[in-house]
Amino acid sequence: MTQDLDTLLTALYVKIDDELKGPRWTGRPPVLTDSELVCVAVAQSLLGFTSEAHWLRYARKHLTGLFPYLPQQSGYNKRLRAA
């Protein structure tokens, strides 16, 4: 299942990155790009995680190869709401 999930998230990231044109920030770029953030949020929804805390715990354990940096819950929530 991990390989299937990795393949799905890679394809999803490529599609999202193609749709989001150019950087949406000013100044120093964030460690987690908008495309990565949206991909992580969509993966959370697809896998059925309703709790951000549980999702981030799962993602840190299982998705570190795809997303080496994941913010803490408050930072994730703030970036997600702003996006």
Domain extent listing, the chain:
2-19+31-81
Q: Answer left, alpha or beta for residue 76, where phi above 0 means left and psi between -120 and 50 means alpha.
A: alpha
Record the tokens describing residue 12, joined without a space: 């999803």
- pTM greater than the 0.85 cutoff: no
Evaluate whether 40 touches 67 at the Cβ level (below 8 Å): yes
Helix, coil or strand: residue 1:
coil
How high is the pLDDT of residue 20?
A: 82
How high is the pLDDT of residue 53?
A: 93
Evaluate whether 71 touches 65 at the Cβ level (below 8 Å): no
How high is the pLDDT of residue 27?
A: 81
How high is the pLDDT of residue 32?
A: 85
Averages of pLDDT over runs of 10 residues in the chain (83 residues) are 82 90 74 89 94 94 90 90 82
How high is the pLDDT of residue 21?
A: 75
